[in-house]
Structure 1
Amino acid sequence: MATNGESASSGGEAPSFRVPKTGELVAQRLRARIIRGELAEGDSLPAEGTLIEEFGVSRPTLREAYRVLEAEQLISVRRGARGGARVHAPSASAAARYAGLVLEYEGATLADVYEARTLVETPCAALLARRRTKHDLKLLWESVEFGESLADDRPRLIRHHTEFHALVVRLSGNHTMNLLNGILRQIIDTANYQRVDTDPGGAAHDAAFHHGLRAHRRLVELIEAKDADGANALWMKHLVEANRYLLELPGATTVLDLLD
């Protein structure tokens, strides 16, 4: 009688399946506890001896599990008498770093990344206009007013611009879009700081940033009015103009260039 593997491959070699190492299985169990919230940000994992007894594994196997979770940035391990493993909540930063490596390898241009940012942020502005709460409006107006107070402080104003954009996406309530935005933002922020820092300034620079502040204020007005179509159109126009301005500045043209 033919085995399942033989019949599935019509007489060829049976498909091979990789059996996870014991350390990976232990990491999987601990990871599940973090994801479910049984272990929260800042908690310490139980002592090594306790986990060794619970899982029935050796110390080297447990430390292999620790290395897996460290690579995923779900724990950090301190050595020594007062050391131990401390838990970290999942964040977009680990995904952003790996996505950045893939984009670097593929030779992605900054124009490509900026375009993706536009496609993520624009519908979020419309979503926020439909769903906004009084608390959302409070946060948005505070951000707008704070940004306007920074009109003559270039470094802080640059950071405020990126933070306002991130706030719009976060308040939209779409967790998937927020994750995608977090991945893109790590690349975009690096590019923006580099490009604007090399810009000598002048009237064009000042006009671009003041225009951006006006767009922020107008967006919040549209969100407050629950004008989703207006918010969508305004934010698309603002992002396209911002992308054009940033790409005209000297500096990196590909994601890989940002590392040079």
Structure 2
Amino acid sequence: MTGDPEVDGGTGGMTMSNGAVGAIGPVDVPKASEIFADILRDKILRGEFPQGESLPPERTLVEQSGLSRAAVRDSLAILKQQGLIVTKTGRNGGSVVSRPTPSDLVSSLEIFLQSHGWDDDHPTLRQMREILEPWCAAFAAADRTDADLDLLHSEHRRTLAAIDNTARYLEASKEWHNAVVGATHNVLLSAFMQARGDAMVSSARRARYDSRSARQAAIDDHARICAAIEDRDPRLAYDLMTDHVRGSEHPLLDVLNDTAQHAKAAARQEDSPLDPEAASQATSSGHAN
């Protein structure tokens, strides 16, 4: 060290005599409105403010919290954005406790996907498809109702009618896939599938299904999956959907395998910079000498 430590009376930190200061970064302090929103959110989620009940009036919240009216309003705006309250106007208006709906979840997921510019060829979405869609088909086969089956067949007929138009086919195919996941009666799965709807009609998918033969092959897959769901055969539905997803997209396992093989080849090339012919020539030259 180049100097003796001294106590920085202003900060309480240790300062070297040459002016070097111990590494203490800036402290990020949450806004008062965010802290108050967290407090109200916890009370709502714990049931202290039941669904359908009004929060205390804004003036009361200002008095109880000691915050400014603007800070309280910001807190309420955060809760409203999260779907935990709705604002009612009129004589008996105010902030009423609610619960986020499946539509709120879909909207949030859509915004997330669109803001990142992810289409259906993005590795993250491709992984989700290969993992989730076969299970959706299996759960649909196990849990579908007659009404679910009617909708599934109806959407399948729409894809048949749209086979000569790529854009119409992709829209109909999207709704067919939504019908499959709807038959699972799983809110989270349905929300995810609906949220990625725009990705399913992206330019990348239009290029992939630009030929009639590609659309016909996918429709044939749909027909077999429909039959497995109708027969309540989860295993067959799972296997058929797996083949369908991997047939319409470059399989995730193939992508991972290709990447690994290229990495191995590059590593071998680094370890052995001479090609076999050059190595042979070098060996021959050594023997000649």
Q: Which bin holds the TM-score, normalised by the shorter protein?
A: 0.5 to 0.7
Report the equivalent of 1:96: 109
Letter in 1 for 2:112: A
Query: Where do 1:202-217 residues align within 5 Å?
Result: 205=215, 208-209=218-219, 211-217=221-227
CA distance in structure 2 between the partners assigned to 1:2 and 1:169 by the alignment: 66
Letter in 2 for 1:164: A
User: How many matched pairs?
Assistant: 221
8 Å CA contact 1:96–1:184 kept in 2: the answer is no
Query: Where do 1:105-120 residues align within 5 Å?
Result: 108-112=118-122, 114-120=125-131
CA distance in structure 1 between the partners assigned to 2:137 and 2:178 by the alignment: 18
Please give the per-residue CA displacement for 1:198-224, whole angstroms capped at 9, x wherever unaligned: 989978646633531431331464xx4
Report the equivalent of 1:253: none
Report the equivalent of 1:64: 74
Q: Quick one: which of 183, 189, 197 aligns to 2:197?
A: 189
Report the equivalent of 1:52: 62
Residue 124 (str. 1) matches residue 135 (str. 2): yes
Report the equivalent of 2:239: 233
8 Å CA contact 2:178–2:194 kept in 1: the answer is no
SS of equivalent residue, structure 2 residue 29: coil
8 Å CA contact 1:77–1:83 kept in 2: the answer is yes
Q: Which runs of 5+ in 1 are unaligned?
A: 245-260
What percent identity do the matched residue pairs reach?
21
Report the equivalent of 1:256: none
Report the equivalent of 1:148: 153
Alignment CA distance shift 1:226-1:116 (3 Å): closer
Alignment CA distance shift 1:220-1:163 (3 Å): same
Q: Which runs of 5+ in 2 are unaligned?
A: 1-5, 15-19, 160-167, 251-289
CA distance in structure 2 between the partners assigned to 1:212 and 1:25 by the alignment: 50
CA distance in structure 2 between the partners assigned to 1:40 and 1:57 by the alignment: 24
Please give the per-residue CA displacement for 1:110-133, whole angstroms capped at 9, x wherever unaligned: 31255133233146349849xx9x
Alignment CA distance shift 1:203-1:225 (3 Å): closer
Alignment CA distance shift 1:17-1:126 (3 Å): farther
Shift of 1:28: 0.4
Alignment CA distance shift 1:145-1:92 (3 Å): same
Shift of 1:239: 1.9
CA distance in structure 2 between the partners assigned to 1:41 and 1:215 by the alignment: 41
CA distance in structure 1 between the partners assigned to 2:210 and 2:217 by the alignment: 13
Please give the per-residue CA displacement for 1:120-165, whole angstroms capped at 9, x wherever unaligned: 3146349849xx9xxx6243x5312322144444579546413234
Please give the per-residue CA displacement for 1:55-84, whole angstroms capped at 9, x wherever unaligned: 232321210112222343433445666643
- Comparing both chains, which one has the higher relative contact order based on Cα–Cα distances under 8 Å and sequence gaps of 6 or more? 1
Shift of 1:32: 1.6
CA distance in structure 1 between the partners assigned to 2:192 and 2:154 by the alignment: 29
Alignment CA distance shift 1:158-1:76 (3 Å): farther
SS of equivalent residue, structure 1 residue 46: coil
Greater C-alpha Rg: 2
Q: TM-score, normalised by structure 1?
A: 0.61
Shift of 1:36: 3.2
Alignment CA distance shift 1:32-1:98 (3 Å): farther
Residue 30 (str. 1) matches residue 40 (str. 2): yes
CA distance in structure 2 between the partners assigned to 1:205 and 1:117 by the alignment: 22
